[in-house]
Amino acid sequence: MIEQLNQLIEQLLIQTAPTVPSIQQVVFVMLAIPAAVAALMVVLARNLFHSALALVGTLFAVAGIYALLEAEFLAVSQILVYVGAISTLITFAIM
């Protein structure tokens, strides 16, 4: 009985052992954390120009996540439309 319990515990430990994260997971975390920080800066920054720059950073990070998900069209259109046009429009409206 105790032997069976020990075997079950060993099997459970083998199944729940931490695994090494894949490169895709590491890249996702490297894109997601700056996106979240920049999104917080968009909301919390007192200077409107700093908020616009943080928005550009957020949009670039989201485009990177789209590229990571193999949605290249969304990534390119995110950069062209949002980063290129909307952010420029916001910057010119501030000035």
Q: What is the pTM of this model?
A: 0.76
If 0-12 CB within 10 Å is exposed, 13-18 middle and 19+ buried, where does residue 78 land?
buried
Can you tell me the distance from the alpha carbon of 56 to that of 34, in angstroms, rounded to the nearest whole number? 12
Q: Which of 9-18, 27-36, 44-53, 86-95 has the lowest mean pLDDT?
A: 9-18
pLDDT of residue 44: 96
Question: How does pLDDT run across 28-85, given as a tens digit for each residue?
Answer: 999 999 999 999 999 999 998 899 999 999 999 999 999 999 999 999 999 999 888 8
pLDDT for position 17: 63
Distance CA 43, CA 23 (A): 31
pLDDT band at 15 (very low <50, low <70, confident <90, very high): confident
Strand (E) or helix (H) holding 43: helix 23-44
Alpha carbons 58 and 50: distance in angstroms, whole number? 12
3-class SS at 21? coil
